[in-house]
């Protein structure tokens, strides 16, 4: 594979030895290599050491293959993005100077920040700052782990049993809401796209049936744990497993995610036991890793505002797109052609209420949450950014979202952590269908397809995107399934909304004179009514679904091999 030709350069870029550098397509089944020994409390801390320049680097912009994979170079070329000095690895001579200081433990190096993550005590830090190659330093963690750890605030619950007669199982509503079901029917399931998932752990991904296809088809391109500096990712917090499942799970009849055929890189950047800016530095290093590997999309369900050391908490004024470490990293990831999808945050009901870093980054797709009725979830963080930009950009289902647990069960969870990957999977299918687009053009077309495209706001941005509408906007001369779309226009439910018990189905021409099978699903994808309609030449037929409770419903009408889907609301 192409990865084997660049990982020595990638190891150098990360400040790793060849024996520690993560290798793609390598499952972390063997015991994890131990990380650095725990430092004495209050003595050894991690710092971001900034270098003055990149003098003496053996790498050249004209020969990017020494530090980037062929796929990474192709991504830039395809989007007309030039290589810049920031892409070059840090100077090896400077790295050696840091290593030569007694007590300095080099963890990683950063190309984009021209910096190194170093663990040391305060006396050693002074020696490092005195080096002629160093221009400054920032401390990344202080004190002992505290009680101020702030996660995304998700809640999970057991999903009720469903008789949904569809291959998506309980994941049907969240996929249908974005047009991902139509996207899959059109043949776009993320094939050929690579997605890096940044999170706190992925237990069960190596064993759960929902991820069997991902494993068996060798679409787990790489794993790396940036917290412990090893390859072991099937451990720690299950949050990453839940998020990954909304895209990658593929167990027909039980659960299908929005990008079930994409290739994935699993990265632990988040330490769920504490909250320090070092996690943002992990995000930065992981983004550079993803860049070097040729990743197309980053899905990050992470956010930062408060830390265990309160004096370094971010303020709302800091959410200006250029202050937080993770925000600056996300912006640079976007600058090299990756499409960054990040959760808006779950602060909508709290005093903070606003988005969290890196959701304020420029040129990324920040995702808010809605419920099954397409209304904004009350917990979903709001915009705008401190400098007045619209955030979130788009929204997807994040309330009562179906997720897969490490033991393979399907539960439901609340959080923009889930709306983010649900949408990231649709992004993969849309980009697969439109490979000529740049990452920024993909974001633009999705925003133009949003349910609030004409009147974006600071709660859901441009609203809920739709794959078919976005595709047709990007391909005005060859819209998706033109004939089917035309027939769809004449197949609808009325009255809509439905107030009483009378419900009629207006028949398209292709659905007259043939027997029909009509199935009605509720917002969770459960089959609530089914009937056979005899062949008729009438323009409409009355349906008999029985008593329907208030909510949004999907009506699927089948005529032989032809099938159409329409939605209606019961008041």
**Is residue 144 in a domain?**
no
**Whether 368 and 387 share a structural domain:** yes
**Whether 470 and 487 share a structural domain:** no
**Whether 329 and 410 share a structural domain:** yes
417 included as an active-site residue: yes
Report how many domains make up the chain.
3
**Whether 497 and 442 share a structural domain:** no
Identify the active-site residue in 28, 222, 238, 417: 417
**Is residue 145 in a domain?**
no
**Is residue 181 in a domain?**
yes
**Whether 430 and 504 share a structural domain:** no
**Whether 183 and 204 share a structural domain:** yes
**Whether 379 and 520 share a structural domain:** no
- List Cβ neighbours of 547 (8 Å cut-off, separation of 6 or more): 501
Question: What are the distances in angstroms from CA 342 to CA 49, 104, 395, 426?
Answer: 27, 33, 11, 14
Find the helix packing angle between 439-448 and 416-433, rounded to 10°: 110
Cα angle 250-424-179, degrees, rounded to a multiple of 5: 75
Contact indicator for 217, 132 with CB cutoff of 8 Å: no
245 included as an active-site residue: no
For tokens 């029909």, name the residue. 516
Give me the average pLDDT of each 10-residue run along the chain (571 residues).
30 40 31 38 84 94 94 96 97 97 96 97 95 96 52 50 65 95 92 97 97 95 96 95 98 95 97 90 98 97 91 94 97 98 96 96 97 95 97 97 96 97 98 96 97 96 97 90 45 76 78 90 86 84 89 86 81 82
**Is residue 550 in a domain?**
yes
239 included as an active-site residue: yes
pLDDT recorded at residue 150: 43
Q: Among the three residues 139, 167, 184, which one is the final residue of a domain in this structure?
A: 139
**Whether 167 and 267 share a structural domain:** yes
**Is residue 147 in a domain?**
no
**Is residue 57 in a domain?**
yes
Range of the domain at 491: 482-570
Q: How many CA atoms lie within 13 A of 498 on its CB side?
A: 25
**Whether 397 and 505 share a structural domain:** no
Contact indicator for 138, 323 with CB cutoff of 8 Å: no
**Is residue 146 in a domain?**
no
Identify the active-site residue in 184, 239, 265, 276: 239
Identify the active-site residue in 59, 110, 199, 245: 199
Nearest to 289 by CA among 249, 355, 233: 233
**Whether 530 and 491 share a structural domain:** yes
Residue 487: give its domain's CATH number: 2.60.40.3080
Q: Among the three residues 94, 109, 139, which one is the final residue of a domain in this structure?
A: 139
213 CB-contact burial (10 Å; exposed 0-12 / middle 13-18 / buried 19+): middle
The rounded distance, in Å, linking the Cα atoms of 338 and 341 is 10
- In sequence order, which ranges of 449-480 are alpha helices (DSSP H)? 467-474
pLDDT recorded at residue 157: 55
The rounded distance, in Å, linking the Cα atoms of 119 and 106 is 7
**Whether 204 and 318 share a structural domain:** yes
**Whether 43 and 6 share a structural domain:** yes
If phi over 0 gives left and psi between -120 and 50 gives alpha, with beta otherwise, what is residue 415?
Answer: left
Contact indicator for 398, 155 with CB cutoff of 8 Å: no
Regarding pTM above 0.85, the answer is no
Structure tokens at 502: 């009378």
Residue 209: give its domain's CATH number: 3.40.50.200
Q: Among the three residues 96, 111, 139, which one is the final residue of a domain in this structure?
A: 139
């Amino acid at each position: 594979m192409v990865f084997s030709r660049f990982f020595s350069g990638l190891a150098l870029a990360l400040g790793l030895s060849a024996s520690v550098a993560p290798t793609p397509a390598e499952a972390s089944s063997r015991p994890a290599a131990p990380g650095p020994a725990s430092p004495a409390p209050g003595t050894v801390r991690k710092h971001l050491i900034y270098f003055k320049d990149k003098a003496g680097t053996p790498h050249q912009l004209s020969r990017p293959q020494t530090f980037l994979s062929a796929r990474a170079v192709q991504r830039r070329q395809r989007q007309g993005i030039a290589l810049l000095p920031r892409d070059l690895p840090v100077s090896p001579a400077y790295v050696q100077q840091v290593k030569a200081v007694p007590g300095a433990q080099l963890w990683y190096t950063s190309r984009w920040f021209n910096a190194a993550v170093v663990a040391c005590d305060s006396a050693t830090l002074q020696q490092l700052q005195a080096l002629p190659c160093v221009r400054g330093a920032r401390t990344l963690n202080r004190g002992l782990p505290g009680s101020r750890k702030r996660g995304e605030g998700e809640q999970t619950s057991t999903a009720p049993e469903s008789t949904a007669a569809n291959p998506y199982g309980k994941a049907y509503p969240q996929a249908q809401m974005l047009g991902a079901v139509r996207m899959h029917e059109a043949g776009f399931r993320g094939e050929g796209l690579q997605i890096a998932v940044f999170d706190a752990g992925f237990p069960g991904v190596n064993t759960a049936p929902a991820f069997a296809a991902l494993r068996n088809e060798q679409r787990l391109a790489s794993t790396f744990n940036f917290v412990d500096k090893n390859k072991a990712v099937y451990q720690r917090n299950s949050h990453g497993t839940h998020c990954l499942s909304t895209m990658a799970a593929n167990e027909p009849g039980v659960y299908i995610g929005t990008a079930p055929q994409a290739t994935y890189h699993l990265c632990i950047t988040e330490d769920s036991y504490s909250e320090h800016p070092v996690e943002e530095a992990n995000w930065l290093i992981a983004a550079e890793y993803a860049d070097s590997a040729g990743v197309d999309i980053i899905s990050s369900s992470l956010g930062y505002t408060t830390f265990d050391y309160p004096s370094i908490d971010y303020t709302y004024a800091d959410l200006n797109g250029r202050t937080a470490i993770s925000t600056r990293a996300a912006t640079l990831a976007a600058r090299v052609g990756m499409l960054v999808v990040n959760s808006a945050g779950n602060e909508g009901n709290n005093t903070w209420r606003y988005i969290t870093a890196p959701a304020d980054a420029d040129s990324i797709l920040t995702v808010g949450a809605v419920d099954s009725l397409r209304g904004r979830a009350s917990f979903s963080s709001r915009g705008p950014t401190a400098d007045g930009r619209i955030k979130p950009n788009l929204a997807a289902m994040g309330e009562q979202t179906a997720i897969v647990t490490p033991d393979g069960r399907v539960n439901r969870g609340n959080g923009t952590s889930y709306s983010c990957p649900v949408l990231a999977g649709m992004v993969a299918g849309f980009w697969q269908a439109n490979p000529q687009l740049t990452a920024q053009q993909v974001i633009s077309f999705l925003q133009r397809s949003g349910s609030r495209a004409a009147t974006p706001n600071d709660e859901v941005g441009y609203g809920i995107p739709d794959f078919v509408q976005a595709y047709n906007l990007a391909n005005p001369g060859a819209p998706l399934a033109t004939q089917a779309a035309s027939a769809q226009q004449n197949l609808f439910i009325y009255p809509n909304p439905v107030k009483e018990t009378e419900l009629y189905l207006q028949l398209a021409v292709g659905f007259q004179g043939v027997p029909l099978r009509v199935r009605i699903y509720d917002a969770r994808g459960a089959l609530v009514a089914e009937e056979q309609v005899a062949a008729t030449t009438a323009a409409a037929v009355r349906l008999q679904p029985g008593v329907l409770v208030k909510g949004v419903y999907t009506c699927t009408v089948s005529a032989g091999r032809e099938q159409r889907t329409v939605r209606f609301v019961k008041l």
